[in-house]
Amino acid sequence: MRLEPRTVFSPSFAIDEPVLQFLGNDTTRLGRADIGCLLINSADDSSVVSSALRAAVGLDFPLEAGTIVNAYPRRVLWLTPRSWLLHCLVEEECVLATRINDAFPDKRVHAAVFTDCLCWFELCGLQGLDQLTNGGFISLERDGLKVGHVKRTSIAGIAAVVVHLQSATWLLGIDRSRAMYFKEWLQAGRSVQDLPSQSRHPNR
């Protein structure tokens, strides 16, 4: 069954707004439901399968740790030496997944629709880095997370995929089950652990 993710917050996919601005100030915070996503895993090293993936999708797949390839409206994020996230239009995710899987009949590479697993948030503005830094480790490197790079880390105690798109623009992938907690943390400017118990446990 193909899910239609029309919101980054509702598990029932009930809201039709693809881009939802939920807080203003010096930093714009957006919920992005217009990003289709595939998770691509390989049984071989990236360099071995990258040519076939390029032929199937029509763009390069990054081979260096933490790098990104942008080719609007698609974007490929390096996750591990054997896996990537592919951003695309929501309406083309199933087509691309089929194209990739057909290119590897031996099942060395598998592409799965991942849009319903991750919610994406976008932070734009000078205070974005400050808020992310207050919430956790952006990077342990001296230069931080450079523009055009991605890293998996923990923000406000929540596992996140952090993409540094531009100097003051950050894209964050959060597990759907934690998206509301993360949204509340962004709004409150404090850690998830400090939120009221009813916010942390909405089903109680």
Q: What is the pLDDT of residue 42?
A: 97
Q: What is the pLDDT of residue 191?
A: 39
Share of the chain above pLDDT 90, in %: 50
Confidence of residue 3 (pLDDT cuts 50, 70, 90): very low
Share of the chain above pLDDT 70, in %: 76
The CATH architecture assigned to 118-198 reads 2-Layer Sandwich (3.30)
Most confident of 4-8, 28-32, 118-122, 193-197: 118-122
Sign of CA dihedral 182, 188, 190, 193: negative
Residue 204 CA to its chain's centroid (Å): 28
pTM of the model: 0.80
Q: Where are the domains of the chain?
A: 36-113, 118-198
Better pLDDT: 121 or 144: 121
Rounded Cα–Cα distance for residues 44 and 56 (Å): 17
Domain at 36-113, CATH class = alpha beta
Most confident of 114-118, 124-128, 135-139: 114-118
Q: What is the pLDDT of residue 36?
A: 93
For residue 60, CA distances in Å to 46, 100, 187, 195 come to 11, 13, 37, 42
**The tokens of 92 are what?**
């083309």
